[in-house]
Amino acid sequence: MPTLTLTDLDSRTRPGDLFHPLDDGKLVCTACGHRCTLKPGQRGVCKIRYNLDGQLLVPYAYTAGVQNDPIEKKPFFHALPGTNALSFGMLGCDFRCAYCQNWFTSQTLRDDRATQNYRPTTPREICDVAIRHGSKTIVSTYNEPLITSEWAVEVFREARSRGLVTGYVSNGHGTPEVLEYVHPWLDLFKIDLKCFDEKKYNLLGGNFQEVLDTIRQVHEMGFWLEIVTLIIPGYNDSDEELNGIAEFLADVSPDIPWHVTAFHPNYKMDLTPATPVETLHRARNIGLSKGLRYVYSGNRPGEVGDSENTFCPGCRAVLIERRGFRVIRNRLGEQGKCPDCGGEIPGRWT
């Protein structure tokens, strides 16, 4: 596998679609909430989208990782439970989270320890791998998919033609333009709502309001949406922040699944302790108290009681029983209805 130099990275590009032209060769990139204004020769915050002589060039025709996993690992709990999803990713991110779980690919060009490996590929080859492994879904992840949306759409066009479902695992730092661009080709949208504090989002490298707006827009546009909050001790685990997140999500829709997941020491926060199970229980109880119908605890398989399971909010019957990323029992049919009371469970079940 070749090592990707900056020159080589720039050679694996094509003209981008997500931008507005300005005078004197300048342009505004609209792939993420930064809306970088770029003069000729300038790179965006993400480092991988850049202005070459008045033309926006964007990543194309490579992957930095391909992996077949249970769809529950993304995590999507209300989409094709018990099936496999093929994950693919590129390089780069518009955030700089000190606790990033995928820093090895997302922080390329910011951190010398991050990978610069890549593999040239085509949409057909990616979909061939998915079909060969029996995957039902193809998911853009590992780096921030919004900033590589042109490539993702090409992959998803091929995926749709072969009957595959498509998904994003994203930080949600989007724009109306990028959501409209991916809307015809994207089914599932997982967004990390990292905290509920504007100053903290600024330190992460993003805009808090842009993330909240994106979550609302994703829901309104009809993507299947699930939210994840990685609960980090001493960072975002206060009752105030957890209440803020839960109230916001319940206002958008009480049917949005909220995953409260455990942090494990990683990257630049390797001395921060892991999240106690008790904190996950507290976060879940807060979510349920604010009216959210589906709140799941994650990253501590077998330690969180029944909070990995899907319950009918009407009769409280267990519909999907899980342990970690493994579905043990699924009583929910393709119509997404509780077999006991007939209540409809929102999701993408077929």
Whole-prediction pTM value?
0.96
The residues facing 67 across adjacent strands are 87
Cα→Cα distances 50→11, 13, 29, 161, 182, Å: 12, 10, 9, 31, 20
Contacts with 44 (C-beta within 8 Å, 6 or more apart), sequence order: 29, 31, 34, 36, 38, 50, 94, 147
- From first to last of its 350 residues, what are the pLDDT tens digits of the chain? 445 566 677 888 999 999 999 999 999 999 999 999 999 999 999 999 999 999 999 999 999 989 999 999 999 999 999 999 999 999 999 999 988 888 878 877 777 776 667 899 999 999 999 999 999 999 999 999 999 999 999 999 999 999 999 999 999 999 999 999 999 999 999 999 999 999 999 999 999 999 999 999 999 999 999 999 999 999 999 999 999 999 999 999 999 999 999 999 988 888 899 999 999 999 999 999 999 999 999 999 999 999 999 999 999 999 999 999 999 999 998 899 999 999 999 999 98
| 127 annotated as belonging to a binding site for a ligand | no
CB 51 within 8 A of CB 42: yes
Structural domains in the chain, sorted by start: 13-57 (no CATH), 62-307 (3.20.20.70), 309-350 (no CATH)
Helix (H, G, I), strand (E, B) or coil at 262: strand
Structural contact between residues 79 and 71, judged by C-beta atoms closer than 8 angstroms:
yes
Are the CB atoms for 282 and 259 separated by under 8 Å? no
**3-state DSSP call for residue 35?**
coil
Give the three-class secondary structure for 50.
strand
Distances (CA, A) of 179 to 33, 146, 168: 11, 9, 11
**Dist CA 277 CA 270 (whole Å):** 19
Task: Count helices and strands (H / E) in the chain.
Answer: 9, 19
E strands, 204-257, are 224-231
Helix (H, G, I), strand (E, B) or coil at 165: strand
Q: Confirm whether residue 341 is marked as ligand binding.
A: no
Distance, CA of 243 to CA of 259 (rounded, Å) = 14
Task: Enter the tokens of residue 207.
Answer: 């805009």
Q: How many CB atoms lie within 10 A of CB 278?
A: 8
- Which whole-number Å values give the CA distances from 262 to 16, 276, 281, in the listed order? 37, 8, 11
**Residue 195 assigned as binding residue:** no
